[in-house]
Amino acid sequence: MNLNPNPLVKIGMEYIPLNQNNMLNKISLLWADDEIELLKSHILFLKEKKINVTAVSSGEEAIQILGGKKYDIVLLDQLMTGIDGIETLKKIKKINPSIPIIMITKNEDEWMMNEAIASQISDYLIKPVNPNQILSSCKRILSSQRIQEEKIVKDFLSIYKELDNEISKVKNISEWMKLIEEVIDWEIQLDKINNLSVEYFIMDLKQRLNDNFTKFFEEKYTKLLSENIFPNKFLDTEIKPLLNSGDKVALIVLDCLRYDQAKLLSNDLFEHFNVQIHPTLSLVPTTTEFSRNSIFSGLLPNQIENSFPNEWQDMKSDLSKLNSYENFFLKSYCKSNINNKVSIFYDKVTNLKYGNKLNEKIKNYRNVDLISVVVNFIDILGHASVDSTAVKEIIPNDKSYRKEVRNWFLNSWLFDMIMKFKLDNRKIIITSDHGNTLIKKSVIVKADKNTSSGLRYKTGRNLSINPKYGFSFKNPDKYFLPKTNQNQNYIIAKSNYYFIYPNDFNYYKKNFENTYQHGGISVDEVVLPVIKLL
């Protein structure tokens, strides 16, 4: 595909210039050396060559500065006092895994350089170093980075039209899964570059994908429920075969883990495991109440109500009990579908303190056949955008949300626990009950006081909604949902719409718009991951 220097891309009704050479004219360099005062002539030379140098005298200072400011490249002295160069490098990579780092050292010892290379340095220079060597290394690294970024953009533009056309041609759920995965892969690839035009481009493609998938899913949902791609079939397809083969299994349910986030996490896990990831689907409404209970019971919601009427009534009597029977459901499933000899340990983690405690004692359950852990952090992070301005600023969009989920995971007690499972030769399966989406457009609905309070779905009496914004149904049994009264119906939000009442319009718009919510139908709420670490 031939590209103009600054091609125009149509985004909605506007044409935006797509600048592929989005590199800064002036390189920003952070240089940490405990003898930095002796290197003023080097710094002056680099500044004359359009390299903006920030000089610090310790690894601690470098780490602190990088926490609040972006740099193109970092230069580290290996033998600094305090935190040395290797340790500084590792801490910097936790802050920004992709930042290029050049190591300067007196030591040509093989162990030291292997350690540095293993910690992902981009280049190393042996003392004494002249400023031309530094300049050459910076240009080489950033030139390579620019070439990689340009290739990503060109490859994306070359396939964009094909992807866009494919959206209107998809005929079945398998084709949808394949297309959604491909678009999400491009989202993650484009996260690596800083080009606003390309970001608008992929967002526009994702929106059309979302709109068309939502229409398909609404029309085909009841027929799709017979396929083995929903939470009620998860234990049958993913856990039962492993247990029947004599494997010990760890089932980790990350509440609200989206498929795009899971793809990013799986990229990090490839270093340690044979990773297999594939998409599956959430139930509608896309909530913990329905989907996660379905995962652990192997049943659809109204089947749970019919099979366990006492437990169901207890769950519905108190919102805090909606998922209080997961352990009971799991044991009941194993007893009925595998055998009584399967030993099970189940736990749920809602905060850091308890997660650390569980990680410490997990060794006590090495002989248990099935360890199941539910983790609520990602869901809590998404909902925190409602109450916390700081969180709202940290995750204003999907790109930043993916980044924060990855940062948490790689530095969490959970990652450490997963590595312990590996040492025990335990098969590890990670999945989710639902995703979420950034809500942006309000829709006014009228309802009585007995209507549920959700922003993305509501259930009550005589509810209606414009088909453009959501879909409604008055026969919950057809959708395998519980029915509490004769006139009960559901309305489910599509795309990025959310439901509000006329008398609370300003309050809800101020507090909930541009926050992450779930319960409706969108790619990011419905399409879920199954990650196998084997």
pLDDT in tens, 267-312: 889 889 999 999 999 999 999 999 999 999 999 999 999 999 999 9
Q: In the prediction, which pLDDT does 312 show?
A: 92
Q: In the prediction, which pLDDT does 21 show?
A: 41
Q: Residue 521 carries which DSSP code?
A: B
Q: Please give the Cα distance from 207 to 200 (Å, whole number).
A: 10
Q: Where are the beta strands (DSSP E) in 156-260?
A: 249-254
Residues 419 and 303 in one domain: yes
Q: Which domain holds residue 474?
A: 440-513
**Confidence grade of residue 4 (pLDDT, cut at 50, 70, 90):** very low
Q: Please give the Cα distance from 283 to 286 (Å, whole number).
A: 6
Residues 94 and 151 in one domain: no
Task: Take residue 23 and report the two structure tokens written for it.
Answer: 């590199």
Q: Please give the Cα distance from 99 to 93 (Å, whole number).
A: 7
Residues 121 and 205 in one domain: no
Q: In the prediction, which pLDDT does 498 show?
A: 95
Average pLDDT of the chain to the nearest whole number: 89
Judge residue 34's burial from the number of C-beta atoms within 10 Å of its C-beta, 0-12 exposed, 13-18 middle, 19 or more buried. Answer: middle
Whether 398 is in a domain gets the answer yes
Residues 177 and 92 in one domain: no
Judge residue 337's burial from the number of C-beta atoms within 10 Å of its C-beta, 0-12 exposed, 13-18 middle, 19 or more buried. Answer: middle
Q: Where are the beta strands (DSSP E) in 209-274?
A: 249-254
Residues 404 and 497 in one domain: no
Reported as a single tens digit per residue, the pLDDT across 71-102 is 999 999 988 989 998 889 988 888 887 789 99
Q: Residue 319 carries which DSSP code?
A: G
> Where among 95, 128, 143 does a domain terminate?
143
- Residues 307, 293, 319, 526, Cα dihedral to 10°: -130
Q: In the prediction, which pLDDT does 409 show?
A: 96
Asked whether residue 25 carries a pLDDT value surpassing 60, the answer given is no
Residue 244 and residue 338 in contact, taking contact as beta carbons nearer than 8 Å: yes
Mean pLDDT confidence for 159-185: 95
**Confidence grade of residue 320 (pLDDT, cut at 50, 70, 90):** confident
Residue 229 and residue 180 in contact, taking contact as beta carbons nearer than 8 Å: no
Q: Please give the Cα distance from 326 to 375 (Å, whole number).
A: 13
Mean pLDDT confidence for 331-338: 95
**Confidence grade of residue 11 (pLDDT, cut at 50, 70, 90):** very low
Instruction: Using a pLDDT cut of 90, give the percent of the chain over it.
Output: 66
Whether 4 is in a domain gets the answer no
Q: What are phi and psi of 427, to 5 degrees?
A: -70, 135
Task: Take residue 202 and report the two structure tokens written for it.
Answer: 């992929």
Whether 139 is in a domain gets the answer yes
User: Which of these, 124, 71, 127, 86, lies nearest to 102 by C-alpha position?
Assistant: 124
Three-state secondary-structure class, residue 144: helix
Residues 126 and 159 in one domain: no
> Where among 119, 143, 167 does a domain terminate?
143
Q: In the prediction, which pLDDT does 108 show?
A: 61
Q: In the prediction, which pLDDT does 120 show?
A: 74
Which residues are registered as beta bridge partners of 345?
A: 371
Helix (H), strand (E) at residue 320: none
Q: In the prediction, which pLDDT does 50 show?
A: 86
Q: In the prediction, which pLDDT does 115 show?
A: 59
- Could you tell me which residues come within 8 angstroms of residue 67 by beta carbon, excluding any fewer than 6 positions away? 95
CATH of residue 353's domain is 3.40.720
> How many independent structural domains does the chain possess?
4
User: For strand 497-500 and strand 516-517, is the pairing parallel, antiparallel, or unpaired?
Assistant: unpaired
Reported as a single tens digit per residue, the pLDDT across 37-67 is 999 999 999 999 889 999 999 999 999 998 7
Judge residue 60's burial from the number of C-beta atoms within 10 Å of its C-beta, 0-12 exposed, 13-18 middle, 19 or more buried. Answer: middle
Residues 42 and 154 in one domain: no
Residues 288 and 310 in one domain: yes
Mean pLDDT confidence for 465-477: 91
Q: Where are the beta strands (DSSP E) in 136-209?
A: none
Asked whether residue 23 carries a pLDDT value surpassing 90, the answer given is no
Q: Please give the Cα distance from 62 to 99 (Å, whole number).
A: 13
Instruction: Give the count of beta carbons closer than 10 Å to the beta carbon of residue 417.
Output: 24
Q: In the prediction, which pLDDT does 119 show?
A: 58
Whether 452 is in a domain gets the answer yes
Instruction: Give the count of beta carbons closer than 10 Å to the beta carbon of residue 243.
Output: 21
Mean pLDDT confidence for 247-268: 96
> Where among 203, 223, 243 does a domain terminate?
223
Angle at the Cα of 275 from the Cα atoms of 274 and 281, rounded to 5 degrees: 155
Reported as a single tens digit per residue, the pLDDT across 103-154 is 998 866 655 556 556 557 888 898 889 999 999 999 888 888 777 888 888 8
Which residues are registered as beta bridge partners of 280?
A: 528
Q: In the prediction, which pLDDT does 392 show?
A: 87
Residue 34 and residue 80 in contact, taking contact as beta carbons nearer than 8 Å: yes
Q: In the prediction, which pLDDT does 10 show?
A: 42
Residues 207 and 238 in one domain: no
Residues 128 and 54 in one domain: yes
**Confidence grade of residue 12 (pLDDT, cut at 50, 70, 90):** very low
Reported as a single tens digit per residue, the pLDDT across 481-510 is 988 777 788 999 999 999 988 888 888 888
* Cα distances (Å, whole numbers) of residue 409 to 199, 262, 266, 414, 464: 25, 11, 11, 7, 41
Residues 359 and 372 in one domain: yes
Q: In the prediction, which pLDDT does 18 show?
A: 46
Q: In the prediction, which pLDDT does 509 show?
A: 87
Q: In the prediction, which pLDDT does 5 show?
A: 41
Lowest-pLDDT choice from 34-38, 248-252, 374-378, 414-418? 34-38
**Confidence grade of residue 2 (pLDDT, cut at 50, 70, 90):** very low
Reported as a single tens digit per residue, the pLDDT across 431-451 is 999 999 999 999 998 887 778
Residue 275 and residue 269 in contact, taking contact as beta carbons nearer than 8 Å: yes
CATH of residue 66's domain is 3.40.50.2300
**Confidence grade of residue 13 (pLDDT, cut at 50, 70, 90):** very low
Residue 458 and residue 445 in contact, taking contact as beta carbons nearer than 8 Å: yes
Q: In the prediction, which pLDDT does 450 show?
A: 77
Reported as a single tens digit per residue, the pLDDT across 505-522 is 888 888 899 999 999 999
User: Which of these, 407, 398, 394, 406, lies nearest to 95 by C-alpha position?
Assistant: 407
Whether 204 is in a domain gets the answer yes
Whether 100 is in a domain gets the answer yes
Residues 83 and 67 in one domain: yes
